[in-house]
Every structure is written in structure tokens, then in C-alpha cells.
């Protein structure tokens, strides 16, 4: 039960944090929880079909961003949650978002190039590639998430850049990197 929520709660929280601004009066954890309540409600109603969405992250991004806007607008007036609007939006957006058939050729080509790089990497390096490049995490964040050393993540990043340069047409450049060029881990 609630399998979708179990799998995507952390992603929702990450998106809420990404929309929070410095000094924001709205706590991203509160916004994430509002969205979770709304999605739980929609999921239990049985009307939510995530498989029909082109991108679950794209869908959640819009839902979370709008919930954040509403929370900001509501914050100064009262603490009453606007769940009814969140629930309605989750349902409406699910119907309105693009389906998998709507992907453009350019987007598919970019995806193919990224996947080609990942294919060439060791499995663990491919995972770190996704964290650094697709999720935009910093070296420190990856180090914390994997409970490893900064040096280990730095070495993986070096291997990633070698493969990327080779496949993106800049072969050999990474091999010439001097220690002084390296970013501090």
C-alpha cells in the first residue's frame, strides 16, 4: 500500500529543498509533507496512474513547485493547510502532463549520449555519474550519501570525465590534467 509514496517521498523532499530560497519563510519539509498527504489521498482513491506520465520527476516538480507557491502565499494569513487544492492539482496535472510518446528527438538524442557514457562506466561509477550530473549533487553531498571518502568520489569523477571527453569528442584532454587543475575534494 502507498508504494508510490514510499518510493518517491525522498525525491519530493529533494525537489522541495531545491525550490526553497535563502531566508524562505516556508519550510520545505512542510511543503513536502503537504504534497505527500495529497498524493497519498490520490493514490488511495485509485485514480492516479503514474505509468502514463512521461516523467514522474517532471510531474512531481510541478506539483511541489506549485505547493511551495501556495504555502508562501498562505503563510502570512493563516496556518490552515490548503490540502484540497493540492489534491485537486495532483489529479488534474496527472491527466494534463505529457505522455511518454511526447518526447522530442533532441531529448532522445541527449539521453542516448548520456546513456552511452554510463554504459562505458563501471556500475558504481555510473551511479555516481547520475548523482553528480543528472541530480546536480556536489562532491560533498555524494560523499555523505555514500558514506565514503572525498578522495574516492574524486577518483570516480576523474574516471567519469575521462570517458565523457572521449565520447564527446575531446579525447585525451583529461589525461593531461595536472594536479593543480584538480578541484579540491
Which residue among 107, 138, 151, 171 contacts other proteins (CB under 8 A)?
Answer: 107
**What 8-state DSSP symbol labels residue 101?**
G
User: Is residue 164 a contact residue for other proteins (CB under 8 A)?
Assistant: yes
User: Is residue 113 a contact residue for other proteins (CB under 8 A)?
Assistant: yes
Tell me the window of 19-27, 66-74, 112-120 that interacts with other proteins (CB under 8 A): 112-120
- C-alpha 61: how far from chain center: 8
Tell me what percent of the chain is helix, strand and coil, each rounded to the nearest 5: 75, 0, 25
What does the radius of gyration of the chain's CA atoms come to, in whole angstroms? 20
User: Contact, 53 vs 8, CB < 8 A?
Assistant: no
Comparison of 71 and 137: residue with beta carbon closer to other proteins: 137
Tell me the window of 19-27, 65-73, 100-108 that interacts with other proteins (CB under 8 A): 100-108
User: Is residue 134 a contact residue for other proteins (CB under 8 A)?
Assistant: yes
User: Is residue 108 a contact residue for other proteins (CB under 8 A)?
Assistant: yes
Which residue among 48, 62, 93, 135 contacts other proteins (CB under 8 A)?
Answer: 135
Provide φ and ψ at 184, rounded to 5°.
Answer: -60, 135
User: Is residue 170 a contact residue for other proteins (CB under 8 A)?
Assistant: yes
Rounded (5°) CA angle 49-47-103:
30
Give the DSSP letter string of 16-80: HHHH--TT-SS-HHHHHHHHHHHHHHHHHHT---GGG-S-HHHHHHHHHHHHHHHHHHHHTT---
Tell me the window of 19-27, 66-74, 109-117 that interacts with other proteins (CB under 8 A): 109-117
User: Is residue 73 a contact residue for other proteins (CB under 8 A)?
Assistant: no
User: Is residue 147 a contact residue for other proteins (CB under 8 A)?
Assistant: yes
User: Is residue 97 a contact residue for other proteins (CB under 8 A)?
Assistant: no
Tell me the window of 7-15, 19-27, 66-74 that interacts with other proteins (CB under 8 A): 7-15
Amino acid at each position: 500500500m502507498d508504494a508510490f509514496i514510499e518510493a518517491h517521498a525522498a525525491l519530493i523532499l529533494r525537489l522541495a529543498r531545491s525550490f526553497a530560497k535563502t531566508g524562505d519563510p516556508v519550510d520545505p519539509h512542510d511543503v513536502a509533507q503537504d504534497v505527500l498527504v495529497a498524493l497519498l489521498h490520490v493514490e488511495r482513491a485509485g485514480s492516479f496512474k503514474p505509468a502514463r506520465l512521461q516523467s514522474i520527476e517532471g510531474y512531481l516538480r510541478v506539483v511541489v513547485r506549485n505547493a511551495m507557491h501556495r504555502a508562501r502565499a498562505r503563510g502570512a494569513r493563516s496556518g490552515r493547510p490548503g490540502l484540497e487544492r493540492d489534491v485537486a492539482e495532483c489529479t488534474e496535472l496527472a491527466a494534463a502532463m505529457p505522455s511518454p510518446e511526447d518526447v522530442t528527438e533532441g531529448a532522445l538524442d541527449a539521453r542516448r549520449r548520456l546513456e552511452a557514457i554510463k554504459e562505458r562506466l563501471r556500475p558504481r561509477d555510473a551511479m555516481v555519474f547520475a548523482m553528480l550530473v543528472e541530480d546536480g549533487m556536489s562532491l560533498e553531498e555524494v560523499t555523505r550519501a555514500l558514506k565514503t571518502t572525498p578522495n574516492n568520489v574524486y577518483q570516480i569523477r576523474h574516471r567519469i570525465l575521462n570517458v565523457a571527453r572521449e565520447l564527446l569528442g575531446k579525447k585525451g584532454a583529461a589525461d593531461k590534467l595536472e594536479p593543480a587543475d584538480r578541484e579540491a575534494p
